[in-house]
Amino acid sequence: MQKKVLFITQAGIIAALYVVLTYFINAFNLASGAIQVRISEALCVLPFFTPAAVPGVIIGCFLSNIITQTMLPDVIFGTLATAIAAVASYFLKDHRFLVTLPPVFANALIIPFVLRYAYQLDDAIWFLMVTVGAGEVISCVGLGSLLITALMPIRSRIFGETFTVKKAKEA
C-alpha cells in the first residue's frame, strides 16, 4: 500500500511540475510551434529514477496541451509523442545518457506532422523535424542531463526505494 501511495504521489508531482513548467515557458511562446523549447520535456528523463515518471509526464503533457489551448491533434499526438518517449526512456533507465534520447526522436518524428497539418505551417517537414529536434535536444539532453546530475546526490530522499542500488553504482 505504501509503495502505491509513493508511486501515485510521485506521478502527481511530476505531472504538476510538467504543467507549471509548460505554462511558464508558454508565456514566452516556446511551448509549441516551429521553434519550441518545452523545458518541461526535461522531466522525460525521470524514468531514470522512478517508473512513476511515465504516467507523470504523460498526464502532465496532456493537461499542459489542454491548458495552453493547443489544437486537438496536438493534444492527442503531442501526448502520444511524450508517452512513447516516456516509455522508451523507462526501458533505457539503466543508461544515464541514453535515457535522454527517446523524447528527442519521438517528438522530432511526430510533432512536425502535427505542426504542418493541425497548425497549417508551410515549413518543410524536414525543417520542422530539425527545429523540434533541436528544442528537444536543449530540453532533454541538455536540461535533462543537468536534472539527473542535480538529483543524483538526493535521489534516495526524493525517489525512495524506486532507485536501485545497482543503478546508483553504475551512474
Residue 131 has a pLDDT of 96
For 155-165, letters b (16+ CB in 10 Å) and e give: beeebeebbee
Q: Grid coordinates representing 12?
A: 502527481
* Rounded average pLDDT over 7-17: 97
- Please report where in the chains the cell 519550441 appears, as a residue: 36
Residue 163 has a pLDDT of 56
Residue 139 has a pLDDT of 97
* Cα 34 from chain centroid (whole Å): 18
Higher pLDDT, 18 or 166: 18
- Any idea what DSSP says for residue 32? S
Residue 165 has a pLDDT of 46
Residue 1 has a pLDDT of 83
- Domains along the chain with CATH numbers: 2-170 (1.10.1760.20)
Residue 71, class by beta-carbon neighbours within 10 Å (0-12 exposed, 13-18 middle, 19+ buried)?
middle
Residue 102 has a pLDDT of 98
Residue 41 has a pLDDT of 95
Averaged pLDDT score across all residues of the chain: 93
pTM, rounded to two decimals: 0.91
DSSP secondary structure, 100-164, as one string: GSHHHHHHHHHHHHHHHHHS---S-HHHHHHHHHHHHIIIIIIIHHHHHHHHGGGHHHHHGGGS-
Residue range 117-171, pLDDT digits in tens: 999 999 999 999 999 999 999 999 999 999 999 999 999 999 886 555 445 545 5
